[in-house]
Amino acid sequence: MTRSSHATIAIASLISERDWQRQVTDAADLLGWSWCHFRPAMTSKGWRTPVSGPLGSGFVDLVLVRGDRLVMVELKAEHGRLTIEQRTVIDLLRPAVEVHVWRPTDLEIALEVLR
């Protein structure tokens, strides 16, 4: 790994998942995508995202649509890990839909997909 690769990973490690999501959604907005993100809310039982059905637990972070294209994305901080539920949802969606898992070091890949 080159010195610049190490520097890129070090910088990417400082980006929170929330900031990473903002970067991706800002790019999506600029490139003409419509998107949605289901945010959790604080309840008396902690943070919860109201959802039902077998895909609910572990559902992807972003659903993006432009023209005839539907893209679903799970966003992770650089060292974040997919949960078992997230892996299951991705595996179920992947045969039917374009699904990606992006981390901050995947910025160029994300932009290429969104172009």
Model confidence over 11-67: pLDDT tens digits? 667 899 999 999 999 999 999 999 999 987 888 888 877 788 888 889 999 999 999
Angle at 33 between CA 62 and CA 39, to 5 degrees: 30
Q: Which residues of 54-75 are buried (b: 16+ CB within 10 A; e: fewer)?
A: eeeebbbbbbbeeeeeebbbbb
> How far separated are the first and last CA of the chain, in Å rounded?
28
Enter the pTM of the model: 0.84
